[in-house]
């Protein structure tokens, strides 16, 4: 073993099973760096302080099993505790078949709020795309149907696209994507679409219905916010881009919100 501080290298081998096959990845660091234990995609390994390990392994959704009922109870409990009201205002008949849901991302609660819409109206198997660093920090979301998207690696990003497209071949599945890819203010005039939403929408088959969702929060007379959720099925009319149609829907939802308050 080299002496600390001499700058020599050493290797750490991490073994994972992917699709039933063991994989060994070699990660090389300077020995003199401080080490700590970190949970890397379900396996514990040594990583340098201040560094985030990435093994190039996509995180897929897990079967909820018994925890699915517990998670639904947990979601209902925290939403009822932190919101004064949750209003769901539909703009058309409830769609059938696989659903690709595109929603604005205004806060930490958004995936839970769309989960509430799914519980009340759509009743599909729920899935949500999350950035890989965030899902690694909160792996319990995989039991909710979350799967990862690695924005900095094209090959891994394409794996996420293929996984989402595979989910959308099942008519009982719903896949939620936040096109902007990060939390932004609800007062922005436009939502800028990232590559994930564009690629997955292109790969979606003709049977997939694209559903737009807007989430807007107001406090009014209460100390807790009221969340108003509006949704509509994308008709594809007008010949404009998907991002333009979504932003047109969002602008209309904001106008209705102003008129209602």
Q: Do the Cβ atoms of 167 and 175 come closer than 8 Å?
A: yes
Measured distance CA(116)–CA(5) in Å, rounded: 54
Average pLDDT over residues 107-127: 93
Q: Kindly provide the residue ranges of all beta strands, DSSP E only, lying in the chain, ordered along the sequence.
A: 9-18, 21-30, 35-40, 43-48, 85-90, 99-103, 125-131, 146-149, 173-177, 209-218, 226-233
**How many residues would you count in the chain?**
261
pLDDT of residue 7: 36
Residue entry with tokens 């096109």: 179
Burial 43-62 (b: 16+ CB within 10 A, else e): eebebbeeeebbeebbbebb
Residue 254 pLDDT greater than 80, yes or no:
yes
List the end-to-end C-alpha distance of the chain, in Å, as a whole number: 69
- Mean pLDDT value across the chain: 78
DSSP secondary structure of 161-200? HHHHHHHTTSTTEEEEE-TTSS---TT-S-PPP-HHHHHH
Label residue 58 by pLDDT band (50, 70, 90). confident
The confidence score (pLDDT) of residue 249 equals: 94
Q: What is the pTM of this model?
A: 0.75
Tens-digit pLDDT profile for residues 190-238: 999 988 898 999 888 889 999 999 999 999 889 999 999 999 999 887 6
Residue 45 sits at φ, ψ, to 5 deg, of: -150, 165
Q: How far apart are CA 219 and CA 46, in angstroms?
A: 46
For 64, which DSSP code?
-
- CA atoms of 229 and 65, how far apart (whole Å): 28
Distances in Å between the Cα of 31 and the Cα atoms of 2, 37, 53, 74, 95 are 7, 15, 16, 44, 57
Residue ranges of domains in the chain, CATH in brackets: 9-48 (no CATH), 65-260 (3.40.1130.10)
What are the residues whose beta carbons fall under 8 Å from the beta carbon of 46, sequence distance 6 or more?
A: 12, 35, 36, 37, 38
Q: Count of alpha carbons within 13 Å of 261, Cβ hemisphere only?
A: 15
The separation between CA 106 and the C-alpha centre of its own chain, rounded to angstroms, equals 13
Q: By C-alpha distance, which of 151, 164, 249 is closest to 204?
A: 164
56-77 average pLDDT score: 77
């Amino acid at each position: 073993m080299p002496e600390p501080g001499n700058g020599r290298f050493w290797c750490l081998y991490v073994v994972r099973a992917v699709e039933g096959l063991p994989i060994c990845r070699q990660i090389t660091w300077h020995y003199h760096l401080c080490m700590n234990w970190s949970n890397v995609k379900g396996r514990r390994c040594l990583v340098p302080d201040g560094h985030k390990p990435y093994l190039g392994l996509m995180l897929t959704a897990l079967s909820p099993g018994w925890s699915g009922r517990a998670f639904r109870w947990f979601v209902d409990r925290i939403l009822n505790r932190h919101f004064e009201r949750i209003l769901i205002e539909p703009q058309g008949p409830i769609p059938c078949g696989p659903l690709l849901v595109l929603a604005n991302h205004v806060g930490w609660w958004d995936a839970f709020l769309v989960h509430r819409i799914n519980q009340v109206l759509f009743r599909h198997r729920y899935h949500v795309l999350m950035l890989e660093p965030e899902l690694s920090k909160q792996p319990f979301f995989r039991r909710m149907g979350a799967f990862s998207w690695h924005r900095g690696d094209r090959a891994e990003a394409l794996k996420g696209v293929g996984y989402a497209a595979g989910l959308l071949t099942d008519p009982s599945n719903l896949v939620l994507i936040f096109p902007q890819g990060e939390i932004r203010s609800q007062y922005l005039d436009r939502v800028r679409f990232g590559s994930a939403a564009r690629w997955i929408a292109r790969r979606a088959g003709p049977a997939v219905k694209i559903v737009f969702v807007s989430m807007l929060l107001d406090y009014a007379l209460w100390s807790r916010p009221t969340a108003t959720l509006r949704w509509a099925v994308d008709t594809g009319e007008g010949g404009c881009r998907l991002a333009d149609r979504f932003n047109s829907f969002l602008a209309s939802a904001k106008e209705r919100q102003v008129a209602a308050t």
